[in-house]
Amino acid sequence: MKKHFVKFLPVFLSIILCFEAGCAGHLGNSQTQQAFTEYTDQVFRSEVSANTLNMHYTLAHPEKYGISQYKVTYGTISQKSEEENAVILENWKKKLKSFKKKELTVSQQMTYDIMIDYIENELESLGTDAYDEILRPSTGFQSQLPVLLAEYTFYDEQDIQDYLKLIACTPDFFRQIIEAEKKKSEKGLFMADFAVDDIVRQCNNFTQDPQNNYLLSTFDSRIDKMQENLSTEKTEAYKTQNRQLVLGQLIPAYQVMAQEIGALKGNGKNSGGLCGLPGGKEYYQYLVRDVTGSDLTVKEMQKQTKIKRDQDLKDLTKLAAKNSDISEKCSNYQLPTEDPELILEDLQEKMKEDFPKAPDVGYTVKSVHPSLEEYTAPAFYLTPPIDDISQNCIYINQSKGDEKMKLYTTIAHEGFPGHLYQNVMERSNGLSPVRSLFGSSGYSEGWATYVEMQSFYYADVDAKVAAYLQKNQSALLSLYATADMGIHYDGWTLKDAVDFFGGFQITDKQVIKQIYQLIIEEPAHYLKYYIGYLEFLNLKNYAMKKYGDDFSNYKFHGALMKMGPAPFSILKKYLPKYWNVE
């Protein structure tokens, strides 16, 4: 799981319309290309500086990108009307269309297509803001914020000052969230009671021991590393200021959030999937496309998911029939190490034949703080700034108890050849900065799931054991994906979910209830993994048929890393232009 930031309707659209890039139709190729670069760079600066937290995780040194003056803020929750947003998007689209696409470089043409695709998708979603949920147990703002603050790197003193201002901004931004939730409640679109309980419990977990909150110790540790550039007096002053802000602003903001959201409990009109809300099914269709980056309809996704699951189950049956002791072998195998850093070294060695070498970068493996374990994934990777890929961080959730093959493949998903590899490769290939604004979680999580499946065969176990465990994992993920679509698109009840999972020998009703509720709280969450994975398999099959003997995993993966994140239809369109590019 790659750690993502909360997505807001871009506030920069109304700003960039006034920027004239000099893209008149009579310009020559080089002039058009330069004008397009200037325009997209302006888009990038306007958008990235609108949210200081996002900016810091995108740029280590914003001043090098012409960003020196900015307001420290988390951004705002859009209050624009549907008509205003439509005008903004249509004008932005018109501005892009004023460039002669054929005069742009291949990379710029791809950027152009990605931006147009984004605008058209957003135009289709107008009027659905009320369905968005900023408070979610795993991907919500309140769950992401503590880790993002704890890992907020101090490159210089300005970063320290920005960090402290962000903490001071938290009560006001949380108030905006609470007001938005109250409006959802008035419209009958508020979350279910069990979701309220999860959010309240999560906030309370974060605030239960204020004097020992880890945002105090992590700040002190980061400040101490800055002592060469700060006087002792400044160091102590910043530590004191941080303590005052965490105890006096941040923790009270979480306490107020818990109280206010808890007070709204009982106002949720729907305890099932999105299709149980007026217009919810249509919103889910938009959300699925946005999250997965796939042009497939939900029904087509359901069909492909079933076909792949049936094949995986057929392969599992064959393996069991030919190897009567396969179950015992899958329970009793051993791996040489369960040290995450040694696993990362092993994976880098094993992947050499299938993947181009990544730049040498540093990385650390950390444990999730106990107060966040309950609502945090088994592991996640924090993306580095686009202008500093030297340091990378993978978090392991010790409470999940992953071991042996599960730990090995999780490390592959987060590290090499997963998220860490993908990010450092793309950012070393010279992609335009604006591309960092339009990444698809279906691409990133689909890629990480795709290479996770490959990593089973890198582990030092019997090939049949690797195949059995990999097929089983693929089939299991397909069940979650089918349940996601069943609940949110087809209106499955809890009984429907119990019946579905029971057909695959998963019969613990309490576990199924937990899965059911999590899927309701995090719609389309599992699809970014599984549908993204299927789309990479689709793309690979396309490349194998197109290139025949010239196909290799190495070339396929290399072309993908050069193209960078994009909707899958755009990746397929541009793959031939990147196939043999060194």
Residues 303 and 249 both lie in one domain: no
- Residues 143-202: tens digit of each pLDDT: 999 989 998 999 999 999 999 999 999 999 999 999 999 999 999 999 999 999 999 999
As a whole number of angstroms, the distance between CA 176 and CA 562 comes to: 40
What is the percent of the chain where pLDDT is above 70? Answer: 94
Sign of CA dihedral 430, 434, 437, 441: negative
pTM for this prediction: 0.93
Residues 69 and 207 both lie in one domain: no
**β-pair type (379-382, 391-396):** antiparallel
- Residues 401-438: tens digit of each pLDDT: 788 999 999 999 999 999 999 999 988 988 999 999 98
272 in a structural domain = no
385 in a structural domain = yes
What is the percent of the chain where pLDDT is above 90? Answer: 82
74: containing domain = 1-127
Q: What is the pLDDT of residue 319?
A: 97
Residues 321 and 456 both lie in one domain: yes
Tell me the mean pLDDT in the region 463-468: 97
Residues 7 and 86 both lie in one domain: yes
As a whole number of angstroms, the distance between CA 68 and CA 66 comes to: 6
Q: What is the pLDDT of residue 79?
A: 63
Q: In the structure, what pLDDT confidence band is assigned to residue 130 with cuts at 50, 70 and 90? A: confident
Residues 458 and 399 both lie in one domain: yes
Residues 80 and 209 both lie in one domain: no
As a whole number of angstroms, the distance between CA 111 and CA 566 comes to: 9
Tell me the mean pLDDT in the region 52-74: 95
Residues 353 and 416 both lie in one domain: yes
Task: Locate the DSSP E strands across 390-435.
Answer: 391-396
Give the domain-ending residue among 92, 127, 162. 127
- Residues 486-502: tens digit of each pLDDT: 999 999 999 999 999 99
Give me the number of domains the chain comprises.
3
3-state secondary structure of 381: strand
Q: What is the pLDDT of residue 15?
A: 36
Residues 378 and 513 both lie in one domain: yes
Please determine, for residue 138, whether its predicted confidence score (pLDDT) is greater than 90. no
Q: What is the pLDDT of residue 1?
A: 56
Give the domain-ending residue among 127, 144, 159. 127
Mean pLDDT of the chain: 92
123 in a structural domain = yes
Per-residue tokens: 347: 């994976």
Between 470 and 372, whose confidence is greater? 470
Residues 495 and 382 both lie in one domain: yes
Burial class (CB in 10 A: 0-12, 13-18, 19+), 276: middle
HEC secondary structure over 147-167: HHHHCCCCCCHHHHHHHHHHH
45 in a structural domain = yes
Residues 42 and 19 both lie in one domain: yes
185 in a structural domain = no
187 in a structural domain = no
Report the residue count for the chain. Answer: 582
As a whole number of angstroms, the distance between CA 89 and CA 98 comes to: 14
279 in a structural domain = no
Residues 305 and 232 both lie in one domain: no
Task: Locate the DSSP E strands across 109-245.
Answer: none
277 in a structural domain = no
Residues 46 and 69 both lie in one domain: yes
Helix axis angle, 525-547 to 298-322, nearest 10°: 80
Please determine, for residue 554, whether its predicted confidence score (pLDDT) is greater than 90. yes
- Residues 238-289: tens digit of each pLDDT: 999 999 999 999 999 999 999 999 999 999 999 999 999 999 999 999 999 9
Q: In the structure, what pLDDT confidence band is assigned to residue 375 with cuts at 50, 70 and 90? A: low
